[in-house]
Amino acid sequence: MKKSCLILFAFLSLHTFAQKFEGLALTPPMGWNSWNTFATHINEKLVMEMADAMVSSGMKDAGYTYLVLDDAWMAKERDSGGNIIADPQRFPHGMKYIADYVHSKGLKFGLYNCAGTRTCADYPGTRGYEYQDARFYASQDVDYLKFDWCNTKGINAEEAYTTMSKALKAAGRPIVFSLCEWGTNKPWQWAESVGHLWRTTGDIGNVFAGDKKYGDWSALGVLHIIDMQDSLRKYAGPGHWNDPDMLEVGNGLTESENRAHFAMWCMLAAPLIAGNDIRKMDASTHDILTNKDVIAIDQDSLGIEGFRYATKDSVETWFKPLKNGDWAVCFLNTSNAPQKVAFKWKEEAVNDTLSNRQLDAKTTTYQLRNLWTKKSAGTTKKDLSATVPPHDVLLLRLTK
């Protein structure tokens, strides 16, 4: 009897005190966020237009599910009951009205707040209101919460995010929990049971090489962020993802840079959260963001993050194991000049000890498909020889 009680207690403890909703974000979340293009300049009309555009542009069909409102959706202060409320001028019908509209389009709805006393744009933060705010999100049919890290002096990150995770669970509505902690306190080491994705770096900027200065801080360029990811892959997997920040595709990068940025986020099994004005994107941006062959690399159900295999002459070679014995390989040209790529398939032993997968072209022949041109690139029976334009990629899928 005593043994049975202990087993029952362990079972109930596991299910009662689990910190996050399981079964969510089994592949990296895909969607759109308002911050990169609009910052605090958001309103009801914009959000509804963006929901329409996600459907009409084909973004929804390509897998983009979450429409997330970032900072400044709320009023400057809480009401007399301590409740967080939508800005009455910019969102006169409230958040439930917006959520209903987004849901009517077959999409899911996300909101933003912050672990500190105020948000980054100086709106009411959640510190001290975690359970009250979680009940509000559940009542508004929110599906995704991005939780930032401003105004947190003296606050312990693990404690703060764990508290919010428990509050969301207690509120009862399954919500994807995105920890936007910037990697300061190494959330990859403790957040698997707390949230579904966690930021690994500071904010991204719309630059490819180098960083973008903003007074006393800098937004990070694409290449800088990629350099910070390679050692973190062991922490990622279905339901818990490293997040190198939102996409800047369509926000001022060149076409080659957009292509390289998107390809590398897919190789990293990163969340794909678009940040452009999808109502006005050009054909090139549209084709990059909705390339289903490339997206399939990101959304592969194995959930294994890619790894840097080699670097030579400013070209980085990245591999990513995929389901059914397939592989993706990406040759990233980080330089400002075209670079030749040569790869002798049969002489390279690609061994991923993390996933216990090997790519052995000596004994197995793989078909090669260029995922951007959507054409065959031969097989591994023949050595690869190609030229990669500056700040661009050659992305191939290898199939047995």
Q: What is the DSSP string of 146-196?
A: EEE--S-TT--HHHHHHHHHHHHHHH-S--EEEE--TTTT-GGGT-TTT-S
**Closest residue by Cα to residue 398 from 303, 313, 300, 308:** 300
**Mean pLDDT, to the nearest integer, of 82-105?**
98
Confidence band of 18 (pLDDT split at 50, 70, 90):
low
Q: Where does the pLDDT of residue 215 fall: very low under 50, low under 70, confident under 90, or very high at 90 and above?
A: confident
Per the structure block, which two tokens stand in for 363? 């004994």
Choose, from 133, 203, 243, 277, the residue flagged as catalytic: 203
For the domain 21-298, what is the CATH code? 3.20.20.70
Of the residues 133, 143, 148, 326, which is catalytic?
Answer: 148
Can you identify the CATH homologous superfamily of domain 307-399? Golgi alpha-mannosidase II (2.60.40.1180)
The answer on pLDDT for 57 being more than 50 is: yes
Among 1-5, 9-13, 372-376, where is mean pLDDT lowest?
9-13
Amino acid identity at 306: G
Q: Identify each DSSP E strand in the chain by its residue range.
A: 30-33, 66-68, 108-114, 144-148, 176-179, 197-199, 212-214, 217-219, 241-243, 272-274, 307-312, 315-321, 327-333, 339-343, 350-352, 357-359, 367-370, 375-379, 384-388, 393-399
Contact 68, 273 (CB under 8 A): yes
Q: Residues 6 or more apart from 207 whose CB is under 8 A from it?
A: 219, 221, 222, 253
Range(s) of the chain covered by CATH 2.60.40.1180: 307-399
Residues 6+ apart with CB under 8 A from 6: none
Residues of the chain with CATH 3.20.20.70: 21-298
The count of C-alpha atoms lying within 13 angstroms of the C-alpha of 128, restricted to the half-sphere facing its C-beta, is 9
Given a cut of 80, whether residue 11 has pLDDT beyond it is no
Characterize 102-126 residue by residue with b for buried, 16 or more Cβ atoms within 10 angstroms of its Cβ, and e for exposed: beebebbbbbbbbbbbbbbbebbbb
For residue 209, the tally of other CB atoms under 10 A from its CB is 13
Tens-place pLDDT, residues 21-51:
999 999 999 999 999 999 999 999 999 999 9
- Whole-number Å distance between alpha carbons of 52 and 124: 29
Contacts of 142 (CB under 8 A, 6+ apart): 95, 99, 109, 110, 111, 173, 175
pLDDT at 13: 37
Q: How far apart are the first and last CA of the chain?
A: 55
User: Is 203 noted as a catalytic residue in this protein?
Assistant: yes
pLDDT of residue 1: 43
**pLDDT over threshold 60, residue 76:** yes
H or E, element range at 96: helix 94-104
Q: For the chain, give the mean pLDDT.
A: 95
Query: Rounded distance, CA 164 to CA 113, Å?
Result: 11
Task: Give 358's contacts (C-beta < 8 A, 6+ positions apart).
Answer: 349, 350, 351, 352
Per-residue model confidence (pLDDT) at position 338: 98
pLDDT-above-90 percentage for the chain? 93
Cβ(220)–Cβ(230) under 8 Å? no
CA-based nearest residue to 351, from 315, 303, 310 = 310
Q: What is the average pLDDT across 56-68?
A: 98
Residue 7, pLDDT above cutoff 80: no
Region 230-255 average pLDDT: 97
For residue 88, what are the CA distances in angstroms to 72, 75, 79, 84? 12, 7, 12, 12
Task: Give the confidence band of 19 by pLDDT, cuts at 50, 70, 90.
Answer: confident
The percentage of residues in the chain with a pLDDT greater than 70, rounded to a whole number, is 96
Give CA–CA dist 78/268, Å, rounded. 39
**pLDDT grade, residue 4 (50/70/90)?**
very low
321-351 residue pLDDT tens: 999 999 999 999 999 999 999 999 999 989 9
At residue 288, does pLDDT exceed 50? yes
Task: Kindly list the distances between the CA atom of residue 269 and the CA atoms of 14, 25, 141, 302, 383, in Å, as whole numbers in the listed order.
Answer: 28, 12, 27, 10, 27
Residue 145's pLDDT is what?
A: 98
